Amino acid sequence: MTKKLELIFAAILLLGYVGLSHQACWTKWFNRDTPDKTGDWEDMDDLRREYPGQICDNPLGIQVVTVNNETPAQQTGQKFYVFSATQGFVCRNADQTNGRCLNYKVGFLCPCTFAA
């Protein structure tokens, strides 16, 4: 319940920051990697290379969920090396107690006027 309230509060702050005249929208989901080798690398450089023109230059937010059941990453109990709207997302297998990251997908909050 606390996490939900934190997310709602963050969304309200973000909407206040973005303002009514500059609406923001979520991109499609991106899933370019699986955790088979060193982890799940959904980092911005690789995402931009594999999906050119589909992510705005300065995302305002990031969503990360598991591929299988769309559980928010923050609720999985895993540790994350990178979790950033501008850098993307990285979960390293070496950082996990069981030695394996889940498979994640990411979405970014961009201006709705962004043409992808």
2-40 tens-digit pLDDT: 555 454 545 555 555 555 446 999 999 999 998 999 999
Q: How many CA atoms lie within 13 A of 21 on its CB side?
A: 0
Long-range contacts of 18-21 (CB under 8 A, 24+ apart): 18/60
Q: Is the pLDDT of residue 45 over 50?
A: yes
Q: Answer for the pair 92, 39: CB distance below 8 angstroms, yes or no.
A: yes
Phi, psi of 3 (to 5 degrees): -60, -40
Amino acid at 79: K
Taking the model in full, what pTM does it have?
0.78
pLDDT digits (tens, 9 = 90+) for 55-90: 999 999 999 999 999 999 999 999 999 999 999 999
Query: Is the sign of the CA dihedral 61, 112, 107, 81 positive or negative?
Result: negative
* pLDDT given for residue 111 in this prediction: 93
